[in-house]
Amino acid sequence: PTSYARQISNLAILAYDFTTVTLYDTFGTESLAYICKKTSLEIIICSKAALKHLEAFSAVPNLKHIIFVDIPVEEIPTFDHIK
């Protein structure tokens, strides 16, 4: 089922006339990186399940922000370890 956080995020995105690109965990890391690059994503709003794809997200040149909706701030990892 779709979470409240996803619904609220989607409404905010639509209110600013941005485009939503839905990414599913089942796509795999390579596919996610490809989609993110092709769509020039600047912001990703995701859940804790997306943590395993951080390396794919770090390869996205236009990416400015990753917003986690279900992780306490102190538990959010950084890209410092990814080169």
Percentage, residues of the chain above pLDDT 70: 88
- What is the SS3 assignment for 65? strand
In the chain, the largest separation of any two C-alpha atoms, in whole Å, equals: 35
Q: Average of pLDDT values for 31-44?
A: 90
What own/partner pairs with CB < 8 Å and gap ≥ 24 does 36-41 have?
A: 36/60, 36/63, 37/61
What is the structure's pLDDT at 22?
86
81: confidence class by pLDDT, cuts 50, 70, 90: low
Residue 11 vs residue 72, higher pLDDT:
11
Reported pTM = 0.73
Cα 46 from Cα 70, distance rounded (Å): 8
Cα 40 from Cα 60, distance rounded (Å): 8
What is the structure's pLDDT at 15?
94
